[in-house]
Chain A
């Protein structure tokens, strides 16, 4: 108790949304279990989802950014956020790997945009989606769609403690084995993306008898060719395999996806 009483540091925190579903914002402000502690420990000086007050001008001890970058004005805003923030974390798959909005990158802009708009098409400034690491230095990645609670807590606690966060950096298979699940890829021949996907969800899909669909994005040094080979042996077509890898990995350089 005395530790908490003495601790005066209440980081000035900004939460910023780019192109996404606001799910990361809702995860932070509603779904996660340590909501009260989070709101008491951090001074959210800018968080539009939760408050009509506050300014995006900063300065911030911590900036949390969700969403992919798909509009020119977002690039300018992102650089401003970086400039006035001590620590900047990317939150969620859209910001980190492109997520679902990045599927747009797989087709010519005109085809995708024309499917949704008629006259308004001429007033749009939407570009090919990019991740925030493409534009600014990012201090850490809170992965997931929605972000995993463990990494979210680790990131927030690290800011309070002034330490470097240790994020989960191994595959879903590790969590799956620890959870004692039967392997849905080996035992049931489902196209499970677990072997190449960054953990953090607790192997949620295999635990619920379905194939992981990689909503946390590829982990570093994933052996993509090996998994593709396995999928081919199971009889999946090249088109199917392409779809599995592009659902949350549409922006991965094709060299890693042979």
Chain B
């Protein structure tokens, strides 16, 4: 029996899968990422260091902030520039609000229809009643988009976040508006999280090594050490020696893993599994009740990648709280008028190399740049979360099909789509 889905729906970008079974055995399986390459590593060569964030933002329409933040920090390392605490706090707000938005899109628009037996969330529009689930979703999305917009100028492909800092900052009044938006959307958010964390995902047990960033302070997102469920603990500058990228003949995306180790998984599942102790109180409680971690052993014991959606729900709750905390701090130092703040920081170029790892919504994101003395980019390297998850996604799919080999073809096909979606892949990023 041959099963093939050429163009998978409800995922970011273009990819499909195919597999063949014979006499109750899986013979062949591939996830083919046919998303056309844009060759960002090639296009960046010859551009100036301060253009990089605006260019790499366009790698992805759902996590542009992550690409900007990662490139900015790598470039600032290359030119020996240290951003101040206000800038770092504003960058956290950008990252947290974007992760919340991205998780929200994935949970409600991309993943939820699988559990409701629907093809798309557009079918939710027929829901009766005055205050529908869909309206709640729209209100919450506006709150998080509004936070990214206030600090970045634009929610999608922000403009005011640049090498050196921010070209403008929101005023007190604007931040008040964001805070009251967060407060009034609390019950909407709880409803959405309640729905998502109450879902019953299919069973699957896999052997991925969970990998994420960690630091001594909080729930590391914009920087940290590389840690894993199998005891890895390394600095971000050691990344290239630890990880290897492999090309596949049938795919435009590379598979990136830890050298000489098996499949790895990054993203919400790894972060919640490995650092649930750093989550806010409410989010930590949810992580326990959703079965992601247990009181006695918090180190990534849940081996079902379908639970990634629960981990995203936990993080949605966590980052809503974190946004509130950071906005309250930002409010205290904000000017009375919008647009005030650390205007046009533009640290001068210098020769050097800079590498940075961050946590994008979907997991580990790596950027490295080599600059000449004029600040022209001579070499660039970008490795995205979906490239890190690619091997695991394929191996887990293999396992899932083997476990359910007696299902009819359509059952296997929809289960396969559901698993790939659970990983929340971003195929545009994976190829770039």
User: A residues within 8 Å of B by Cβ?
Assistant: 17-27, 29-31, 33, 35-36, 39-40, 44, 47-54, 70-71, 74, 99-101, 103-104, 106-107, 111-120, 123-124, 126, 145-146, 188, 190, 201, 204-205, 207-210, 213, 215, 240, 243, 247
- The verdict on B23 contacting chain A, using a C-beta distance below 8 Å, is no
CB-defined contacts of B428 to chain A, threshold 8 Å: 20-22
CB-defined contacts of B21 to chain A, threshold 8 Å: none
CA distance A204 to B154 in the complex (A): 8
Are B42 and A50 in contact, CB atoms less than 8 angstroms apart? no
Are A22 and B142 in contact, CB atoms less than 8 angstroms apart? no
CA distance A247 to B157 in the complex (A): 14
CB-defined contacts of A49 to chain B, threshold 8 Å: 9-12
CA distance A54 to B8 in the complex (A): 12
CA distance A52 to B159 in the complex (A): 33
**Tally of chain B residues near chain A (CB < 8 A):** 65
CB-defined contacts of A101 to chain B, threshold 8 Å: 38, 43, 58
Contact pick for B37, options A23, A126, A213, A247, CB 8 Å: A126
Contact pick for B61, options A52, A111, A146, A210, CB 8 Å: A146
Secondary structure of the B contact surface, majority rule: loop
CA distance A27 to B154 in the complex (A): 11
Are B38 and A33 in contact, CB atoms less than 8 angstroms apart? no
Are B153 and A31 in contact, CB atoms less than 8 angstroms apart? no
**22 A-B residue pairings within 8 Å (CB atoms):** A22-B12, A23-B60, A23-B157, A36-B135, A47-B120, A52-B113, A70-B38, A101-B43, A104-B43, A111-B42, A116-B37, A116-B42, A118-B247, A120-B247, A120-B254, A126-B39, A204-B153, A205-B159, A208-B167, A209-B160, A209-B344, A215-B157
Are B105 and A116 in contact, CB atoms less than 8 angstroms apart? no
- Nearest-neighbour CB distance to chain B for A244, whole angstroms, equals 9
Q: Which of B11, B62, B121, B135 has the most CB of A within 10 A?
A: B62
Are A247 and B54 in contact, CB atoms less than 8 angstroms apart? yes
Contact pick for B42, options A36, A74, A113, CB 8 Å: A113
Are A27 and B156 in contact, CB atoms less than 8 angstroms apart? yes
| B45-53, B84-92, B189-197, B393-401 - interface stretch | B45-53
- Nearest-neighbour CB distance to chain B for A24, whole angstroms, equals 7
- Nearest-neighbour CB distance to chain A for B131, whole angstroms, equals 13
- The verdict on B134 contacting chain A, using a C-beta distance below 8 Å, is yes
Are B142 and A146 in contact, CB atoms less than 8 angstroms apart? no
CB-defined contacts of A126 to chain B, threshold 8 Å: 36-37, 39
CA distance A74 to B42 in the complex (A): 22
Are A21 and B46 in contact, CB atoms less than 8 angstroms apart? no
Are A26 and B37 in contact, CB atoms less than 8 angstroms apart? no
Contact pick for A22, options B7, B62, B119, CB 8 Å: B62
Are B43 and A208 in contact, CB atoms less than 8 angstroms apart? no
Chain A: CB-nearest residue to B45: A115
- The verdict on B252 contacting chain A, using a C-beta distance below 8 Å, is yes
Are B168 and A36 in contact, CB atoms less than 8 angstroms apart? no
Are B156 and A23 in contact, CB atoms less than 8 angstroms apart? yes
As a 0/1 sequence over residues 329 to 360 of chain B, the CB contacts with chain A under 8 angstroms (1 = contact) are 00000000001000110000000000000000
- The verdict on B290 contacting chain A, using a C-beta distance below 8 Å, is no
CA distance A39 to B58 in the complex (A): 25
Are A104 and B154 in contact, CB atoms less than 8 angstroms apart? no
User: B residues within 8 Å of A by Cβ?
Assistant: 7-14, 36-43, 45-48, 51, 54-55, 58-62, 64, 101, 105, 109, 113, 119-122, 125, 134-135, 138, 141-142, 145, 153-157, 159-160, 162, 167-168, 247-249, 252, 254, 339, 343-344, 380, 417, 428
CB-defined contacts of B105 to chain A, threshold 8 Å: 26, 30
- Nearest-neighbour CB distance to chain B for A197, whole angstroms, equals 13
Are B417 and A52 in contact, CB atoms less than 8 angstroms apart? yes
Assuming the A-B contacts A17-B14, A36-B135, A50-B122, are A31 and B343 also in contact, with contact meaning beta carbons closer than 8 angstroms in the complex?
A: no
Assuming the A-B contacts A209-B167, A210-B162, are A22 and B113 also in contact, with contact meaning beta carbons closer than 8 angstroms in the complex?
A: no
CB-defined contacts of A19 to chain B, threshold 8 Å: 36, 38
CA distance A209 to B64 in the complex (A): 21
Contact pick for A25, options B47, B48, B61, CB 8 Å: B61
Q: Which 9 A-B pairs have the closest CB atoms?
A: A23-B61, A52-B9, A112-B42, A51-B120, A53-B119, A115-B42, A100-B58, A208-B160, A103-B43
Assuming the A-B contacts A33-B142, A70-B36, A119-B247, are A205 and B153 also in contact, with contact meaning beta carbons closer than 8 angstroms in the complex?
A: yes
- Nearest-neighbour CB distance to chain B for A62, whole angstroms, equals 16
CB-defined contacts of A99 to chain B, threshold 8 Å: 58
Chain A: CB-nearest residue to B156: A146
Assuming the A-B contacts A21-B58, A22-B61, A29-B109, are A53 and B9 also in contact, with contact meaning beta carbons closer than 8 angstroms in the complex?
A: yes
CB-defined contacts of B14 to chain A, threshold 8 Å: 17, 48
- Nearest-neighbour CB distance to chain B for A147, whole angstroms, equals 9
- Nearest-neighbour CB distance to chain A for B292, whole angstroms, equals 26
CA distance A71 to B36 in the complex (A): 7
CA distance A13 to B39 in the complex (A): 31
CB-defined contacts of B12 to chain A, threshold 8 Å: 22, 49
Q: Which of A52, A120, A188 has the most CB of B within 10 A?
A: A52
CB-defined contacts of A17 to chain B, threshold 8 Å: 13-14
CB-defined contacts of B156 to chain A, threshold 8 Å: 23, 26-27, 31, 146
CB-defined contacts of A207 to chain B, threshold 8 Å: 153, 339
Are B62 and A114 in contact, CB atoms less than 8 angstroms apart? no
Are A247 and B55 in contact, CB atoms less than 8 angstroms apart? yes
Contact pick for A48, options B7, B41, B47, CB 8 Å: B7
CB-defined contacts of A53 to chain B, threshold 8 Å: 9, 119-120
CA distance A25 to B14 in the complex (A): 13
- Nearest-neighbour CB distance to chain B for A8, whole angstroms, equals 17
CA distance A204 to B249 in the complex (A): 43
Assuming the A-B contacts A26-B61, A51-B122, A52-B417, are A209 and B247 also in contact, with contact meaning beta carbons closer than 8 angstroms in the complex?
A: no
CA distance A33 to B139 in the complex (A): 10
Chain A: CB-nearest residue to B10: A52
Assuming the A-B contacts A52-B120, A243-B47, are A114 and B42 also in contact, with contact meaning beta carbons closer than 8 angstroms in the complex?
A: yes
CA distance A247 to B142 in the complex (A): 30
Assuming the A-B contacts A30-B105, A116-B39, are A21 and B9 also in contact, with contact meaning beta carbons closer than 8 angstroms in the complex?
A: no
Q: Which of B37, B248, B380 has the most CB of A within 10 A?
A: B37
CB-defined contacts of B37 to chain A, threshold 8 Å: 113, 116-117, 124, 126
CB-defined contacts of B13 to chain A, threshold 8 Å: 17, 22
Are A116 and B153 in contact, CB atoms less than 8 angstroms apart? no
